[in-house]
Chain A
Amino acid sequence: MMVDNQKIRLCIEGSRIAQKELYEAYKVNLYVLCQRYFADLEDAKDVLQEGFIKVFRDLHQFDAAKGHVSSWIKKVFVNTCLEKLRKKKLDFQKIDDHDYEVVYDPCIISDLNLKDLTKMIQKLPIGYRTVFNLYVIEGYNHQEIADQLGISESTSKTQLMKAKNMLRLRLEDVFK
Chain B
Amino acid sequence: MEDKNNNLEIFFRDKFNQRIEPQDWNIPDNEVWDSIASNIPVENKKRRLGVLPLIFVGGLTVMSLILGYDNYKKGRNIAELHQELKECSNQTNVSNNENNPSEKFIGESAKLSINYQNNERILSNDSYKIVDLPQNSPENHSVTRMARHSKFNQPHKSSPTTVEIYTNSIMDEKNPFEQGTDLKDNEFITISSLPALPYTTINRPNTLPVIDFPIMADYTKPIKQSSGRILIGPILRYINWQDKIKGSFDNPLSELLIKEETSPSLAMGLAFSKTVGSHLVLNTGILYFQRNQSSQYAINLPYSTTNEINVGSEFENRFEHSLPTGLGNINTSLVLSRSINSPVTNNENVYLDFSLQNHTKALAIPLTMSYYITEAGAGFFVQGGIMNEFIIENKIREVNTESHHTFVRDKSIVVDYNASQINKLNVSTIVGIGYEKEIFEGVGISLLANYGFAVTNTFATPDYQHKIDQLGLQMMVVKTID
Mark A residues whose CB is within 8 Å of B: 2, 4-6, 10, 12-16, 19-20, 23, 27-29, 31-32, 36, 41, 45, 48-49, 52-53, 56-57, 64-65, 67-68, 70-71, 103-104, 106-107, 109-110, 112-115, 117, 132, 135-137, 139, 164, 167-168
B392 at the interface (CB under 8 A from A): no
A32 to B11, Cβ gap below 8 A?
no
Which of these binds chain A: B20-28, B221-229, B305-313, B316-324? B20-28
Contact of A14 among B7, B47, B397, B402 (CB under 8 A): B47
- Contact string against A for B residues 376-388, beta-carbon threshold 8 Å, 1 for contact and 0 otherwise: 0000000000000
B298 to A168, Cβ gap below 8 A?
no
CA distance A112 to B8 in the complex (A): 13
CB-defined contacts of B12 to chain A, threshold 8 Å: 117, 132, 136-137, 167
B40 to A57, Cβ gap below 8 A?
yes
Mark B residues whose CB is within 8 Å of A: 4-5, 7-9, 11-13, 15-16, 18, 20, 22, 24-28, 32-33, 35-37, 39-44, 47-48, 258-259, 261, 294, 296, 298, 341, 343, 353, 355, 397-398, 400-402
B24 to A113, Cβ gap below 8 A?
yes
B5 to A164, Cβ gap below 8 A?
yes
Additional pairs, 4, CB under 8 Å, beyond known A23-B33, A57-B40, A137-B16: A20-B37, A31-B27, A103-B4, A114-B18
B470 to chain A, nearest CB (A): 19
Contact of B28 among A15, A45, A103, A167 (CB under 8 A): A45
B29 to chain A, nearest CB (A): 10
B29: nearest chain-A partner, CB-CB: A45
B400 to A53, Cβ gap below 8 A?
no
A2 to B296, Cβ gap below 8 A?
yes
B42 to A64, Cβ gap below 8 A?
no
CA distance A64 to B359 in the complex (A): 14
A20 to B27, Cβ gap below 8 A?
no
Given A28-B22, A65-B397, A109 contacting B11 (CB threshold 8 A): yes
CB-defined contacts of B5 to chain A, threshold 8 Å: 164
CA distance A106 to B6 in the complex (A): 11
CA distance A89 to B27 in the complex (A): 28
A14 to B44, Cβ gap below 8 A?
yes
CB-defined contacts of A12 to chain B, threshold 8 Å: 47
A14: nearest chain-B partner, CB-CB: B43
Q: Provide the main secondary structure of the chain B interface.
A: mixed
A148 to chain B, nearest CB (A): 19
B142 to chain A, nearest CB (A): 78
A48 to B22, Cβ gap below 8 A?
no
B297: nearest chain-A partner, CB-CB: A2
Given A31-B28, A115-B25, A136-B13, A104 contacting B259 (CB threshold 8 A): no
CA distance A20 to B37 in the complex (A): 8
The 4 A-B residue pairs with the shortest CB-CB distance in the complex, in nearest-first order: A14-B43, A56-B40, A52-B36, A13-B47
B401 to A19, Cβ gap below 8 A?
no
B339: nearest chain-A partner, CB-CB: A106
- Provide a sorted-by-A list of 19 A–B residue pairs whose CB atoms are within 8 angstroms: A2-B296, A6-B259, A16-B37, A19-B40, A29-B20, A32-B20, A45-B28, A49-B39, A56-B41, A68-B400, A106-B8, A109-B11, A110-B341, A117-B16, A132-B12, A137-B12, A137-B16, A164-B8, A168-B8
Given A14-B44, A104-B8, A109-B11, A28 contacting B27 (CB threshold 8 A): yes
CA distance A168 to B15 in the complex (A): 16
Given A45-B32, A106-B341, A167-B8, A2 contacting B298 (CB threshold 8 A): yes
CA distance A67 to B401 in the complex (A): 9
CB-defined contacts of B296 to chain A, threshold 8 Å: 2, 4
B11 to A110, Cβ gap below 8 A?
yes
B49: nearest chain-A partner, CB-CB: A13
A2 to B18, Cβ gap below 8 A?
no
A65 to chain B, nearest CB (A): 5
Contact of A4 among B26, B27, B41, B259 (CB under 8 A): B259
Contact of B400 among A10, A41, A64, A136 (CB under 8 A): A64
Given A14-B41, A115-B24, A48 contacting B32 (CB threshold 8 A): yes
A13 to B44, Cβ gap below 8 A?
yes
B4 to A104, Cβ gap below 8 A?
yes
A4 to B28, Cβ gap below 8 A?
no
A68 to B401, Cβ gap below 8 A?
yes
A101: nearest chain-B partner, CB-CB: B1
CA distance A132 to B35 in the complex (A): 31
B351 to chain A, nearest CB (A): 10
CA distance A27 to B344 in the complex (A): 26
Given A32-B20, A56-B40, A104-B8, A49 contacting B35 (CB threshold 8 A): yes
B190 to chain A, nearest CB (A): 63
A120: nearest chain-B partner, CB-CB: B12
CB-defined contacts of A45 to chain B, threshold 8 Å: 28, 32
CB-defined contacts of A5 to chain B, threshold 8 Å: 294, 355
CB-defined contacts of B47 to chain A, threshold 8 Å: 12-14
A28 to chain B, nearest CB (A): 5
CA distance A156 to B34 in the complex (A): 38
CA distance A164 to B7 in the complex (A): 11
CA distance A4 to B355 in the complex (A): 9
CB-defined contacts of B39 to chain A, threshold 8 Å: 49, 53
CA distance A4 to B12 in the complex (A): 29
CB-defined contacts of A137 to chain B, threshold 8 Å: 12-13, 16
Contact of A16 among B25, B43, B398 (CB under 8 A): B43
CB-defined contacts of A15 to chain B, threshold 8 Å: 43, 48
B398 to A64, Cβ gap below 8 A?
yes
A52: nearest chain-B partner, CB-CB: B36
Interface centre among B261, B400, B401 (most CB of A within 10 A): B400
